[in-house]
Structure 1
Amino acid sequence: MPRHTALPPTLAPRLIGREAAAAYCAVSASFFDTLVDKGLMPAPKLIGDKRRAWDVRALDLAIDRLPVDGEATQADDTWADVDSHAA
């Protein structure tokens, strides 16, 4: 990832490229592409006509939503019976 000399060393870039986004998520670039295609990771932001970059904040939110190993991943049906009463 190229270092932007205009940024102070303590300020990380908000938008990062594909390779950096994959590394940020601890996966390969090709697997990161799969996660994006499946909607588990966000789509990139467009900068101009062709440049794409990922927002680190959006990556953080997507990472927070990933399942935790060993936890049940079934849907929460707490409110499933709210509309079940006959009128």
Structure 2
Amino acid sequence: MSNEPISSNSQTDWQRLDAMSDEDIDLSDCPEITPDLFAKATVRRGLPVAKNKAQVTLRIDSDVLEWFKSQGQGYQTQINTLLRSYMEAHRS
């Protein structure tokens, strides 16, 4: 079986998309991420990570921290991954 694309021509109307304003975009099939929806999110490993890490002091509710710790080794990496996903989802 060939891995070559079926068509080399995009069928996307790029000029129409470039001319659209934010208000013209139909987001009805893409609901806003609410805290409840975010709480049900799944952490995916293997996301690109920054090479430089900064050590910080961060105040987190004790029950939240205990829950992450109960997930086992790597809980700090898991917190970082969640924060990165949130950041990337809200970048403009």
Band the TM-score falls in, shorter-chain normalisation: under 0.3
Q: Which has the larger radius of gyration?
A: 2
Task: Write 1 or 2 for the structure with the bigger share of strand.
Answer: 1
What's the TM-score, normalizing by structure 2? 0.21
Q: Structure 1 or 2: larger helix share?
A: 2
